[in-house]
Amino acid sequence: MATSSIRKIAPKPRDADTGERILQIAFEMFGRYGYDGVSIDQISKACDLSKGAMYWYYKNKEALFVECVKHMRKLMVAHIYGPMRSATDPKTQMLMFFQGIKSILDDQENLESVSGLLIGIGRIDKPLIREFRTRARHEAEAFMASILENGRAQGQFHFKGTALPKARALFVILEGCLIQARAETAEQTKDALANISVGFYLACGSTPPADLLKQAIEAGSA
């Protein structure tokens, strides 16, 4: 039997810059219009690409959305979790947590997309998205719980029971502030955050850092 003379053509490699451009545009569109409010066709047109080219980079809309959620996670690491890990003192680490939220509120380029994605994630009942969100949340809660337990062991925090419920409350504060910034101004949300952060330290039997007290007082007198 004669062998075929047809040669297989190797697929064209993906261009990193194009992939990044697709991700950034999709990140903005999903954040503004939600998962159901955006189609692959609309994203491809915004990227000046054919729908076929889009599928070369991302197999479907769900996969692209998950990459956008991962991108949001990277932003939170850059603003919040990274600085927290760089500190060694538990009380300072929690200060980095609140200052990190404030840093995202100041990030006008990405704030709308982050808040929109946070709103949208909870409304999407797709296994891949739900699994990623659950895993990311559990990792963040475990990380913050370890800081609180370490702080208690060092005598910096004083609270009863396990730290995990308090870590979950902190995660609610994080998401709540970023979502609230969509309804109010970032400045109003930062004022509320200043008071919440002071309340956290007091609830844990710890003296709030001077900077947080100053911000809370300024917010209350505004």
List pLDDT tens digits, range 31-58: 999 999 999 999 999 999 988 888 889 9
pLDDT category of residue 220 using cuts at 50, 70 and 90: low
Could you tell me if residue 211 is inside a domain? yes
Could you tell me if residue 6 is inside a domain? no
- Please, is 133 exposed, middle or buried when counting C-beta atoms within 10 Å of its C-beta (0-12, 13-18, 19+)? middle
Q: Across residues 139-164, what is the average pLDDT?
A: 95
Cα(164)–Cα(148) distance, integer angstroms: 9
pLDDT of residue 156: 95
Could you tell me if residue 215 is inside a domain? yes
CATH of the domain at 89: 1.10.357.10
Please name which of 192, 102, 80, 64 lies closest in space to residue 147, comparing C-alpha atoms.
80
pLDDT of residue 154: 96
pLDDT category of residue 221 using cuts at 50, 70 and 90: low
Could you tell me if residue 35 is inside a domain? no
pLDDT of residue 51: 87
Cα(50)–Cα(54) distance, integer angstroms: 6
Q: Across residues 185-214, what is the average pLDDT?
A: 88
The rounded radius of gyration (Å) of the Cα atoms in the chain is 22
Could you tell me if residue 7 is inside a domain? no
Report CA-CA distances (Å) from 91 to 41, 96, 148. 48, 9, 8
Range of 190's domain? 65-221
* Residues 161/147, Cβ–Cβ less than 8 Å: no
On average, the pLDDT of the chain sits at 87
Instruction: Count Cβ atoms below 10 Å from residue 205 Cβ, excluding itself.
Output: 13
Alpha helix segments (H runs only) across the chain: 16-33, 40-46, 51-57, 61-76, 82-86, 90-106, 111-121, 127-153, 164-183, 186-203, 210-221
Give the tens place of pLDDT for each residue, 86-144. 998 999 999 999 999 999 999 989 999 999 998 888 777 778 888 888 898 999 999 99
Cα(166)–Cα(174) distance, integer angstroms: 12
Could you tell me if residue 49 is inside a domain? no
Measure the CA angle with vertex 125, ends 115 and 176; round to 5°.
25
For the chain, the domain total comes to 1
Could you tell me if residue 178 is inside a domain? yes
- Least confident residue range of 67-71, 163-167, 182-186: 182-186
Q: At what angle do helices 90-106 and 164-183 cross, to 10 degrees?
A: 20
pLDDT of residue 13: 54
Sign of the dihedral through C-alpha 135, 140, 146, 152: negative
- Least confident residue range of 2-6, 85-89, 156-160, 174-178: 2-6
Could you tell me if residue 161 is inside a domain? yes
pLDDT of residue 130: 83
Question: For residue 183, what are its two tokens?
Answer: 């309804």
pLDDT category of residue 10 using cuts at 50, 70 and 90: very low
Sign of the dihedral through C-alpha 162, 163, 167, 170: positive
Query: Which residues are within 8 A (CB) of 172 and not within 5 positions of it... i.e. 6 or more apart?
Result: none
